[in-house]
Copies of this chain bind each other. A is one copy, B any other.
Amino acid sequence: MEIAGVQAAVGVLSSKWSVAILAELSGGTRRFNELLRRIDGISRRMLAATLRRLEEAGLITRRVYAAVPARVEYDLSPAGSALFAALTPLSGWALQHRPEAA
């Protein structure tokens, strides 16, 4: 197993809202305010910051429609989609080893 690769993956996922955003986008295209409403507890500031980091990491794509009012759509990139899929075993691990979280 390649430790450096795992650390790189954990690195992008380690900011508080990354996993929640990936999960939300795994359900399809979402707009900024849509994410803001659907992800409980997140602030505009953190949503914007996390989206930027995920985009820089190549995990999501951002499309801007030059219209009034402004409209921006986010999607999972192939890499983001693959990363989210690779998280499934972690979910299984939690189910088995963290009964209190169930």
Query: What's the number of copies of this chain in the assembled complex?
Result: 2
Given A1-B91, A5-B93, A6-B94, 13 more A-B residue pairs with CB atoms under 8 Å apart are A2-B94, A4-B94, A5-B91, A5-B101, A5-B102, A6-B90, A10-B14, A10-B90, A13-B14, A79-B97, A83-B90, A83-B97, A89-B89
A49 in contact (CB, < 8 A): no
Residues of chain B with a CB closer than 8 A to A20's CB: 3, 7
Chain A: interface residue total (CB-CB under 8 A) = 36
| Pairwise interchain contact B3-A95, C-beta atoms closer than 8 A | no
Give A90 to B9 CA distance when docked, in angstroms. Answer: 6
B19, B82, B88: which contacts A10 (Cβ < 8 A)? B19
